[in-house]
Amino acid sequence: MSKDDQILTEKYNEILEREKGFQVFNYKRDPYPLYGQLSKVREQIQQSDAMIAFGLKQTIINTGVYRPGLPNEKILTNNWQATPWNEIEVGMGIMHHIPILLVRDKDICSGVFDSILSDEYIFSITSELELNKIKEDKNFIAWLNRIPHSV
């Protein structure tokens, strides 16, 4: 993670642990085991009451083509992508019916971070929100209110 991304995730941890009393599990990138990589993610999600998925800049496509040869073909230029693991994690979270807060960079706008995505368990917030205003954001508050035993 970049230094700014690290500060962002630490601020969310601080709010949830110190101010709201939640136990936070950070799923960090580590060496993958030889077997059961997805099971490890699933097990942690099954033990969770909520989830935050950070859509942060991981890959840039300088030039490319989305859906080549199809009617909705699109030329991509300087297109940022989040980690593909976000798609798996959020999908598992939806299957487990837990509230999910999507915190996305303004340049991340595809897949689960598409701005038209709407679901009763998904709430979205921009990573550009001033860190001292997170707790006042209506989507953050709505997400908190969906968490069982929310304090």
Domain membership flag for residue 75: no
Domain membership flag for residue 92: yes
In one-letter notation, the amino acid at residue 8 is L
Domain membership flag for residue 47: yes
Domain membership flag for residue 70: no
Q: Is 130 helix (H, G, I), strand (E, B) or coil?
A: coil
Q: How many domains does the chain divide into?
A: 1
Q: Dig out the tokens for 65 from the structure.
A: 């083509």
Spell out the residues 6+ positions from residue 126 whose beta carbon is closer than 8 angstroms to its own: 103, 104, 105, 106
Average pLDDT over every residue of 136-142: 94
Domain membership flag for residue 40: yes
pTM score, whole prediction? 0.88
pLDDT at 87 over 70: yes
Domain membership flag for residue 62: no
Domain membership flag for residue 80: no
Percent of the chain with pLDDT over 70: 93
**Residue 94: phi, psi to the nearest 5?**
-65, -40
Q: Dig out the tokens for 147 from the structure.
A: 């968490």
Beta-bridge mates of residue 60: 80
pLDDT at 131 over 90: no
Q: What pLDDT is recorded for position 116?
A: 86
* Integer Cα distance of 82 and 111 in angstroms: 9
| pLDDT tens-digit readout, 30-61 | 666 667 788 888 999 999 999 999 999 999 99
Domain membership flag for residue 9: yes
Q: Which domain holds residue 94?
A: 3-53+87-146
Average pLDDT over every residue of 81-105: 94
